[in-house]
Structure 1
Amino acid sequence: MKPEKNFTISRNKRGASIADALEAVSKIREGIPSAFVFEHGSLQVKMYQPSKQDAQKPHTRDEIYLIARGSGWFVNGAERHAFQIGDLLFVPAGVTHRFEEFSGDFCTWVMFYGPEGGEAA
């Protein structure tokens, strides 16, 4: 999988620091709250930092969020629960999800992996 054109690829082939990832987010065009920071095989890693509202749509691949900063509420399908720094959240491909009532410093690593349609359970 190739990253979307509006993403910034990390120069570091072994990973990315949170500082580098947040800098990448700040450099992309307004209205795009995420930046691509790492790729290996089917794995794509982004830093996501929405402002005020999370307007994302369901994705075609399974994804994991690892909360880097902040806290708030996460809607995952029919469930809604609190999240904070260090929490790991899984979203199967195609499931509606969003962050709500999050703090101003909120940002999260996002990892997409596996085939289109998600992996079999």
Structure 2
Amino acid sequence: MAGQDVFDLARHVAASAAMARLPRAGGKRFEGVFRHGSLQVEIFAPRGRDTQRPHDRDEVYVVVRGAGSFVNGTQRFAFRAGDVLFAAAGEIHWFEDFSEDFFTWVLFYGPEGGEKGAPPPGGAGPKAP
């Protein structure tokens, strides 16, 4: 990735431009596209099989295109474009049975080891109206 100052100045990163930076065949299937403070944004587009291992920071996925299954520990979630997925630092997770056009933003943030805050009162997030 280029110097951090270049990414700190960015205010817009198009998904199409980020995808164009990935190799067409072979090679890595992720690329860093933005960095600011503890936030690092990558584009990720596995092909065939997702071989990632647990990361040392918390991460959020925002699915841009495609569908499939997200495995996080013993949980399995169907996902599609527009969905948000989370993996805490150190959690075993991967994508499987994903469509050929699948790609996602990956947002790494916080300290190594992840944020250790307590879960919010009353559950895992906002309740639907």
TM-score bracket for this pair, using the shorter chain length: 0.7 to 0.9
Q: Secondary structure at the match of 2:21?
A: helix
Cα gap change, 1:114 to 1:11, in 2 (>3 Å): closer
Change (3 A) 1:12 1:115: same
Cross-structure match for 1:47: 43
| Residues 55, 98 of structure 1: 8 Å contact kept | yes
Superposed, 1:1-121 pairs within 5 Å as: 3=1, 13-26=10-23, 30-121=26-117
User: Deviation per CA, 1:60-117, whole angstroms, max 9, x where unpaired?
Assistant: 0000000000000000111011000000001000000000000000000000000000
Determine what percentage of the aligned residue pairs are the same residue: 47
Change in Cα spacing, 1:12 to 1:68, as seen in structure 2 (3 Å) is farther
- The answer on whether the counterparts of 1:10 and 1:16 sit within 8 Å (CA) in structure 2 is no
TM-score, normalising length from structure 1?
0.87
Q: CA RMSD in A?
A: 2.1
Structure with bigger gyration radius: 2
Cα–Cα, structure 1 residues 85 and 120, in superposed 2: closer, same or farther, change >3 Å? same
Q: Distance in 2 between matches of 1:48 and 1:12?
A: 22
CA contact (8 A) 1:47 1:109 kept: yes
5+ long unaligned stretches in structure 1: none
State the alpha-carbon separation in 1 of the partners of residues 72 and 12 from structure 2.
27
CA deviation after TM superposition for structure 1 residue 12, in Å: 6.4
Alignment length (residue pairs): 114
Q: Residue in 1 aligned with 2:125?
A: none
